[in-house]
Amino acid sequence: MSRPDPTNTHCPYCALQCAMSLAGDDVSELEVKGRDFPTNNGGMCQKGWTSAAVLSTPDRITSPLIKDADGELRSASWGAALDLVAAQIRVTQEKYGEDSVAVFGGGGLTNEKAYALGKFARTVLRTPNIDYNGRFCMASAAAAVNRSLGIDRGLPFPLTDLGGAQAILLLGSNVAETMPPSLRHFAGARERGGLVVVDPRRSATAALTEDGAGMHLQPVPGTDLVVLLALLHIVWAENLADRDYLSDRTSGAGDVRRSVATWWPERAEQVCGIAADELRQVARALAAASASRGGTGAYILTGRGVEQSTQGTATVTAAINLALALGLPGRQGSGYGAITGQGNGQGGREHGQKSDQLPGYRKIDDPLARAHVAKVWGVDPASIPGPGKPAVQLLQDLGTSGGPKILMVHGSNLAVSAPNAGNVIDRLRSLDMLVVCDFVPSETALLADVVLPVTQWAEEEGTMTSLEGRVIRRRKALDPPEGVRSELEVLAELAARLAPSVSFDTDPSVVFDELARASAGGPADYSGLSHERLDSEPVSGYYWPVPRPDHPGTPRLFQDGFPTTDGKARMVAVDHVGPNEDLRADAPIYLLTGRVLSHYQSGAQTRRISELNRAEPAPYVEMHPLLAIRLGVDDGDAVRLTTSRGSIEAVARWNDKIRPDSVFMPFHWGGSGSVNQITNDATDPISGMPEFKVCAVDVQCLAKVSR
C-alpha cells in the first residue's frame, strides 16, 4: 500500500506518546520525523527515532507457529492454529470449568484491542481470569487516587502545566531516561531552584537538581513513605497547611494530622537517612510555591520507584495527603499526578483488561455497570463473571490444581517482565496450552504452544490514551507483512468458533464506537469521541471524560470538586512498615531495579535495534566503589547476585552516584542476566502491585576482568 504523504501518528513506546510522522512506501525505507505536539514539541528520544527499525527485524514472525511433538515451533496455517486453540479451550473448559482459561493483556495495546480483549474474556471465554501488565505499572497509584480523589487519571492536568511551577517534588521516577522529551516541562521549576528529586541513585534526573536547580534526596531504599510522612509533619508543625482548603475541600485531615505527629524530622532522619534540615527545606519550598502563599504553583509527582512496593498504595496516599494539605489538587498550576509508564497504560486499564473493571473504568461488581455494559454487548448481565485474580496471584496459580490450564498472552513478555520470573516461567511451562500473540520470538513466545503473529503500531489504526488522559489517534502507515493479522481479527475468528452469538467487529473505528457506548456514564467516559472526531482534531486529541459529541474534553480535573460521595477529597492515614524483605546476614545489600535510556520494558523490541543495542548491549550491576572494594569487585568483573528466589550473573559497573548499601540492575534482558528472576513477588495488599524495586541480595565476585 503506497502512501506518498507522511502519516501522522505517535511513538509506540512510553505514555508520553510523542507525536511523529512516518514517510515512505516500504518498511525498509520508512522515515521517522518528530512532529510538533504539546508533550514533545517535535522532540523524541533515541527509541522513538529508531522505532521504525523494529518493523523490519529479521526474526519477524509472519505465520502462525505450533509446537510439534519434539518441542519445536513449526509454521502452520491460520485455520489450523485457530482451530487448535479453539478446540483446546473447548475441551479444557468442559473438563475444568470456564475459569480454567485465563487471559493476560498489555499496556501497549490500543484502546480498541484492550476493549476487545476484555470483552472476549468475559463474553466468549466467560472467565474472570483476566489481568494485564499494567498491574506492574499503575496499580498502586490507581488504588490510592481512586480512594482519595475519586477518579484515576495519571495526570489530572496537561503536562504543559508543569512549566509554570515554582516547585516540583518528583518521587521514584527517572524521566530523564524513561521519557526524555518531558524534561522541557520541568525547566521552569529548575530555573526557579524548585526541582526536588527523591531517588536512592543520583540518576540522570536527580543530576538535574545540581547548580542551584533544586535538591536531590537520597533515602534508604524502601523508605520513601517516611520522607512523605515527615514532610507532612513539618507542614502541620510549622503552620504551612492551607487550612481553608482542608476545611472546604477535604475530609479526614484530623486523622492524618494525628497519624504523622510521630514522624518529626529527626526521627524520620534515623529511618530514611535524609537530614532533618533538608526535609524542612523541602517542606517550606513546597509551601512557599503553593497558591495559598502567593507562589506560582507546586506539583507532587510519583512514579514506579515508590509505587512498586508492598506499601506502594500507602506511599501514593501519603503523597496525595501532602498535596491536599498544601491545597494543590484542583487549583490552576498545582496538583498531584502519577507518571504513567506504558504507551497505553492509562487506556489499557480503563476499558476492561484489569481483573476488576469493565469499560469506562467501571467496577465489575457494580450491578448498574454490569447492566449497562451487558446491554452494549448483547448478553445477560448475570453471564458476566465477577472480579478475577490480580496478575501476580493469577500467574502463581497457572497450571496448579484449580488454577488456569490455558493462558492467552497479548502484548506482554512475562518471562522477562514479571517478578520472580523464574517461577513464572515454570508456571508457563506447566500449562496445557500457552497461546502468545506477538510479532517477534520474545522469551515468552518461545515457551508457547501456539504463536499468532499480529500487526504492530505502524500497521494498524486505533487510539491510545496518554499519561495525561489525552485520547489520540494511532494511524496506519503501511500494510503488515503477508500472513500477519490484527488482534481484532484473531479475537473475532476465535469468537466465531467458540461463541458465534457474540458480535466482534474487526474495524477499529467500529470497535471504538462500541467502546464509546460501553464507557458512557462511567468515570472514563469516551462516549463523545469517535475516530472521525479525533481525525478532525489532529493536533492534540481530547482529554477524557468527553461525555457528548459537542463536549470539549476535560483537561483539568477537580476544579469544581472531587467525584466522591460528598464532593470532597478523602485524606487517609497511613504509616510506614518497611519493605517486605529487609536486609539480613546472607543478603546484606539492597537490590534496586529500573530502566536505561536506550531500552524499553522487557527489551523485546529495543534489543532488536542495532543502534540501541550498541548503546547498551548487556545487563550490568551498578555499585558504589566503596561497596565494590569491600566485596573485592573491580569495575568490569563478573558478579553473581543471589536472593531467596535464585541467582543471576552480570558485569559490575562502578558508579559513585548510588548509595554504598545498594546495587542497581536494569530489567530489559532475559536469560542469566534477567534481574526479575530474583525480584520479590510479594504484593501490596490493596493494589496487588509486586515489590519490584527493593529486595535483599548477596553479591559475590565470579571472575576478574582481564587487564
Residue 32 pLDDT > 90: yes
pLDDT band of residue 399 (cuts 50, 70, 90) is very high
Q: Is residue 163 part of a domain?
A: yes
Segment 136-154, tens digit of pLDDT: 988 999 999 999 999 999 9
To the nearest whole percent, how much of the chain has pLDDT over 90?
Answer: 96
Specify whether 303 is located in the same domain as 389. no
Q: How high is the pLDDT of residue 1?
A: 44
CATH number of domain containing 350: 3.40.50.740
Q: Which of 543, 574, 603 is a domain's end point?
A: 543
pLDDT band of residue 100 (cuts 50, 70, 90) is very high
DSSP string, 428-455: HHTSSEEEEEESS--TTGGG-SEEEEB-
Residue 107 belongs to domain spanning: 65-137+345-543
Q: How far apart are CA 461 and CA 298, in angstroms?
A: 38
Specify whether 498 is located in the same domain as 373. yes
Segment 427-444, tens digit of pLDDT: 999 999 999 999 999 999
Q: Distance of CA 240 to CAs 73, 233, 260, Å?
A: 64, 10, 15
Q: Taking Cα atoms as reference points, which of 257, 209, 212, 206 lies closest to residue 235?
A: 257
Amino acid at 222: G
Mean pLDDT on 378-405: 97
Q: How far apart are CA 546 and CA 470, in angstroms?
A: 10
CATH number of domain containing 612: 2.40.40.20
Q: Which of 285, 317, 339 is a domain's end point?
A: 339
Q: How far apart are CA 355 and CA 102, in angstroms?
A: 11
Q: How far apart are CA 655 and CA 628, in angstroms?
A: 10
Q: Distance of CA 542 to CAs 36, 151, 507, 513, 695, Å?
A: 16, 17, 22, 15, 41
Segment 527-567, tens digit of pLDDT: 999 999 999 976 689 999 999 999 999 999 999 999 999 99
Q: How far apart are CA 196 and CA 213, in angstroms?
A: 9
Determine if the pTM surpasses 0.85. Answer: yes
Query: From the DSSP assignment, how many helices (H) and strands (E) are in the chain?
Result: 23, 28
Residues 6+ apart with CB under 8 A from 684: 139, 140, 143, 309, 310, 311, 312, 313, 690, 691
Q: Distance of CA 619 to CAs 254, 414, 615, 672, Å?
A: 48, 18, 12, 9
Q: How far apart are CA 580 and CA 695, in angstroms?
A: 8
Q: How does the average pLDDT of the chain come out, rounded?
A: 96
Specify whether 114 is located in the same domain as 40. no
Specify whether 412 is located in the same domain as 531. yes
Which of the residue ranges 308-317, 336-345, 384-393 would you say has the lowest mean pLDDT?
336-345
- CB-based contact 485:78 (threshold 8 Å): yes
To the nearest whole percent, how much of the chain has pLDDT over 70?
Answer: 99
For 459, the 3-state DSSP assignment is helix
- CB-based contact 399:431 (threshold 8 Å): yes
CATH number of domain containing 300: 3.40.228.10
pLDDT band of residue 707 (cuts 50, 70, 90) is low
Q: Is residue 484 part of a domain?
A: yes
CATH number of domain containing 37: 2.20.25.90
Q: Is residue 573 part of a domain?
A: no
Specify whether 179 is located in the same domain as 299. yes
- CB-based contact 115:359 (threshold 8 Å): yes
CB count in 10 Å sphere of residue 386: 11
Q: Is residue 562 part of a domain?
A: no
Mean pLDDT on 449-462: 97
Q: Taking Cα atoms as reference points, which of 285, 273, 387, 474 lies closest to residue 688?
A: 387
Segment 589-628, tens digit of pLDDT: 999 999 999 999 999 999 999 999 999 999 999 999 999 9
Q: Which of 23, 39, 56 is a domain's end point?
A: 56
Q: How high is the pLDDT of residue 4?
A: 60
Specify whether 373 is located in the same domain as 482. yes
For 362, the 3-state DSSP assignment is strand
Segment 194-211, tens digit of pLDDT: 999 999 999 999 999 999
Q: Taking Cα atoms as reference points, which of 169, 143, 142, 164 lies closest to residue 154?
A: 142
Q: How high is the pLDDT of residue 703?
A: 85
Pairing of strands 470-474, 542-543: antiparallel
Q: How high is the pLDDT of residue 29?
A: 84
- CB-based contact 676:619 (threshold 8 Å): no
